[in-house]
Structure 1
Amino acid sequence: MKKFVRPLVAGALSAAVLPFVSGTAVADDVPPPIVEEYDYPGADAIYAQYHIRLLKGDGHILFTDCGATGPLVKVWSRIAERSYFCFRVTGESGFLTMDVPDVFAITGDTHELKATVVIKGTATPTDVIKNTYTPVGEGVDPQNGFTPLVELRSGRS
């Protein structure tokens, strides 16, 4: 009786496993690999409303409502009905790449920040002083012209 049961069980298992071993069944059922690309969530909606492009980040510098409580980073720009946009830094270090046109100053929060603006085609990093209004680009020298903000970094990131 053992000889009869073993081949039946082995045959049943082979038939059940066989579709998952064949190349087509496995290839069709395997999800694509998960790769973090750091794209900013909701960037299209933010662009549609505020005309600033948030590109990539690690999730530690977030676009937020300027009426939010707590320490906020304010980016002063000439592009909108209001004169500044706000960001919240949520970790010891973080980064966010963006394209915010016509930036002339940044008000820091309680974090060490470095802002990179493009002055006449050259990426220029600037230290943003904690809790202080810091002129950048055109705000430092009107001859710099309109300067886009392309990156914010906090801490050691």
Structure 2
Amino acid sequence: MTLRTRKRFIAPIVATVAAIGALSAVAQAAPTTTATAIANTEPPSAVEDFNYPGADRILAEQDLKLGKGDGGILLTECTADSWNIKVAAIKNWATSEHCFKTPGKTGYLSLEVTGTFSIQTADRSVRATLTSEGKKKTVDAPKGLVTPVGAGDIPGGGKDATLVELRVTG
């Protein structure tokens, strides 16, 4: 009877110890395997560089160079009620218009529009930075007005200018 009792109690204890030993070995190997599996399946981290999305395509299609921005000024169609900012330019004796919408009350966009001669605003005030003959000039364009700049600014000298930055100020 004693032998049976010993077998009855010792066999489960031996089995439990063996199971714990096996689990311990698997648990020690598992983190490396799991970490490797996770590292191989996770996408790379996204780092925002603030470059305008699709800028290369826009340059090829519209001859408009867009740089960095904060998403507060977005290129849009020049249809009625779709824009807050309209930039007019002349290049090679042809005029062009580039329109932008401003979803918020602030925004920033670096760009390059050669031959800019006016900036028209709807319901947002804008501060524009232009370059002409190697010098920078900042112009405030009040909301609801057309502001002549560059060649369009006859009292200011009417010099050819390149728009390089737009900032929504209100």
Task: Say yes or no: TM over 0.5.
Answer: yes
Q: Residues 41-80 of structure 1: matches in 2 within 5 Å?
A: 41-67=53-79, 69-79=81-91
Change (3 A) 1:68 1:13: farther
Contact 1:66 1:72 in 2 (8 A): no
1:103 paired with 2:111, answer no
Q: Report SS of the residue matched to 2:50.
A: coil
| 1:44/1:66 CA distance change after superposition, 3 Å | same
Letter in 2 for 1:5: A
Measure the CA separation in 2 of the matches of 1:119 and 1:21.
Answer: 56
Give the equivalent residue in structure 2 for 1:88.
101
Structure 2 counterpart of 1:43, which letter?
Answer: A
Cα distance per residue 1:85-118 (max 9 Å; x no partner) = 1110111101000011110110012112101110
Residue 132 of structure 2 is aligned to residue 119 of structure 1:
yes
Q: Is the Cα–Cα contact under 8 Å of residues 76 and 99 in structure 2 kept in the other structure?
A: yes
TM-score normalized by the length of structure 1: 0.84
Q: Which deviates further from its counterpart, 1-10 or 67-76?
A: 67-76
How many residue pairs get matched?
154
Q: CA RMSD in A?
A: 2.4
- Aligned identity (percent) is 33
Unmatched runs of 5 consecutive residues or more in structure 2: 1-14
Asked if the contact 2:70/2:109 (under 8 Å) is kept, the reply is yes
SS in 2 for 1:12: helix
Counterpart in the other structure of 2:12:
none
Match of residue 34, structure 1, among 24, 46, 54: 46
2:20 paired with 1:6: yes
Shift of 1:26: 7.8
Measured after TM superposition, the shift of residue 46 of structure 1 is: 1.1
* Greater C-alpha Rg: 2
Q: What letter corresponds to residue 65 of structure 2 in structure 1?
A: R
Which residue in 1 is equivalent to 2:10? none
